[in-house]
Structure 1
């Protein structure tokens, strides 16, 4: 396996060389990670918070226009985390109030993305301004949706009434959240505001009692013609019962198109409005290098793969060296062992010969033997004749 292949198989967390904290939220902190091949966003969850694994695992295999790309997920240091492509853009939670035409046009982009996601039987579950980024598209704007698969109701000011009751995300709950998002974009403030969970739940249940048009009028956010064009949208989205909301995203898209026509905005006019707003909210230079001034410590412990590899190499070399030394030792000792064994055998044979001679003599008593064993006769001196 090549070095490049080994690197691509390593976790993005371990390939990262720099880290910068971008946002601290109630559910998780978001960091930017710099790797050799590019930049990623890391969502590092707080204790007790997590994501829906089945949803995230499916997102890794999807490439839907307007939806972020999840690259990695898991648990590190007993903490759930998500890694997705870093996106050059601004959070829609940080932009000023939008002209109605801009808000309607951008919302149509989100509707198309959620409709494609819905066809994969996945519901977002946490549509709110922080989870919608505004990105540059030529001289214009486009939306990009992030953070699917939340466990829980999500941002409470945007959660449908049934989500407070513990029901799972659905097409209808996402439609409700889109209504809340549209109001925020146009008004610049949330429709429902409270720091108390039960209070927000009660406000959501009483949503149909709010006169949204009057609220927008008081905020001087819309012209009378725009207020009239928006009224059907509030009735299709901000309803207590899911059954009373729009049937699906296709129906909402039609309503958005009708609203744009009602205020006299065609495709050309809408694009012009988008370009003007893009110039107001997007930095002049979107492309940038890693923010060196904002570098921070990694929130997790990195696995130093290179050190592990070096340690493994040293261990393997040490074992091979020990085996080599042992082999050489036995080879050297082995070349001498035949001499030692041969000497031992000769000594044993001589000892047995002498024992047999002595035994023979004892058996015959003290008298001289008639004959001596050949082994003894062989060592006797041969008489020399005169």
Structure 2
């Protein structure tokens, strides 16, 4: 008997609709992942519109409500608002029963402006300049970003650090609970590229008698001054404006150095240099906190870290994702030991590494980074 296919029963049912071209003896993959990306554009702007209109804050104020009363309260079109709310239900941000909308816990926590971990301000600024995404193909062709944030970094970072402060303060505070800052008084802290200084603030609020040197660019550091003053810590903080690659740092003078979400903007060579600079600034037994969104070594198993790398490529001249292997290598080359990776809150990972107490002959390990 002649057999024209190893799976004749599948070939009998072969149609273009089922298997497409070229011929394969298996069912084709679904188109869902493509549609998810296509609809992602609309999903993002729906969330931006909801925050801009104050949908979440209004429902928090009114309680469970239908589209009509909600629209009257917000002075908007009830028909259009209902479609926005229905979409928010599919995202998991609202619940809806009998046309009555109610906030989910996710929206209460992250999308209300006064939520305990509000990301409402972050949603609009996190992707970077939107025009850069529209021109990503040209950026790939030419190797140059259309509107790099490097051209006017203070203008970009001012709204960004305002928006990221609640999330980073929460990450830093939880890390402090794990590292026991409350049991380590009188620390001297250096926070490079600090933004509104959430990491320095978290340490000072947990560690009695500690002081900090806070650094960022002119135009950004003023936000740190205001935030530190608002939290009653101004008498414990010295502010040092300038580029963190070039400001003067006293060698071996800090117990903790923080590189909080700055390395991915710098490119590999400059990030590596920052790690070495942090080592030199630390006292023996001092501790580096290197926080960022890292990619896995294969750059495929941690989508958040990989996509954050693409955000850097789309918006900066040098920025790109850092893999765990790269960071560990730089830490080792600089001379750090006792390296560990912690995740105080979701997606926010922190390498904690220590400068050794001394070299093999009892001398401080000043120059190991040059080996």
Q: TM-score, normalised by structure 1?
A: 0.22
Q: TM-score, normalised by structure 2?
A: 0.23
